[in-house]
Amino acid sequence: MQVMDAEQHDQNVTAHPSPPPPQTLSKNAQKRLLKQQRMEAKKAERRAAMKEHKKKEGDRKRKEWEEMLASVAEDERLKLIESRKGLRKERMEKRSEEKEKKTQRLTNAKEHGQNIVVDLDFSDLMTPNEINSLAQQIMYCYAVNRRCASPCHLWLTGCNGEMGSRLQRLPGFDKWIIEKENRPYIEALQDEKHNLVYLTADSETILHELDPKKMYIVGGLVDRNRWKGITMKKAQEQGIQTAKLPIGNYLKMSSSQVLTVNQVIEILLKFLETQDWKTSFFQVIPQRKRGGADSEDCQGDVEGGEENEEEEDQLEIKKKRTESPSND
């Protein structure tokens, strides 16, 4: 009987092996984890506060409207209601007209706009939080591009794996007027290889003008500080051109901070609009990232990416995003 019990015990152990002991995180990994947890907690608090504020504002406006209707005669009440309906209809018609114009501009950009590619082939180097951050940046890129009088034609290449899944969860992503490629750009755009230009701060070539025939690539990688020089190395191995924005001719970046993907693309859009690099840099780059102006002997990192100030950049994105891109 004891032998049978022992055999049964051995079978249970084999069928249900003990989980491996948890791996001990390094001090730096523990700090990053704590920072991510604090950021997520703050984000949750802000979302809850914004939701509560929106609810209170809605309740307040509804109460004021009801009180106003209750304070007037029946005929006046009917006039107020009809007037409100008319204003609402007018707003909806105007919004629909603006949406059609934006859609037409984006459609025209497919043929005549500057091509800008976001290289999303780095998802295996990023954490889930970083992938989520990049997806938010891309959503803002699209929203900014939609508002431009002369938008560019956006490409997303390497839209697969976790990055592709996260993008699919963005509001209205399937309706975005952009090019979405599961393949890397080097495969999807092999016929245009001679026109590909990777924007990287490690390049020795300074970009003075945007060539309509060129397709400018922005590296979609968050926390680039962990992967110094990765985009330059990639471009060299693939045999494609590289260039860097002339940021050092106009301002001094504080420390070695990088710009987010949406900031790089917004700079390019501003330059297409103004043909002025200085104006483009100063309108897009946050003051906290600018250490000084008109410096000839300094170069900031202007690749698409994100420094350790992720929370501030995400707050800035939410503050500046005045409309949802899901309406397309």
Residues with active-site annotation: 223
With 0-12 / 13-18 / 19 or more C-beta atoms within 10 angstroms meaning exposed / middle / buried, residue 264 is buried
Half-sphere exposure of 74 (CA within 13 A, CB side): 0
Q: How many CB atoms lie within 10 A of CB 178?
A: 21
Which has the closest alpha carbon to 153: 216, 235, 234, 207?
A: 216
DSSP state letters, 189-258? TGGGGGGEEEE-TT-S-B--S--TT-EEEEE--S-GGGSTTHHHHHHHHHT-EEEB--GGGTEEESTT-E
Do the Cβ atoms of 114 and 216 come closer than 8 Å?
yes
Do the Cβ atoms of 260 and 304 come closer than 8 Å?
yes
Where do we find the tokens 């899901």? 326
Half-sphere exposure of 91 (CA within 13 A, CB side): 6
The tokens describing 303, both together, are 């690749």
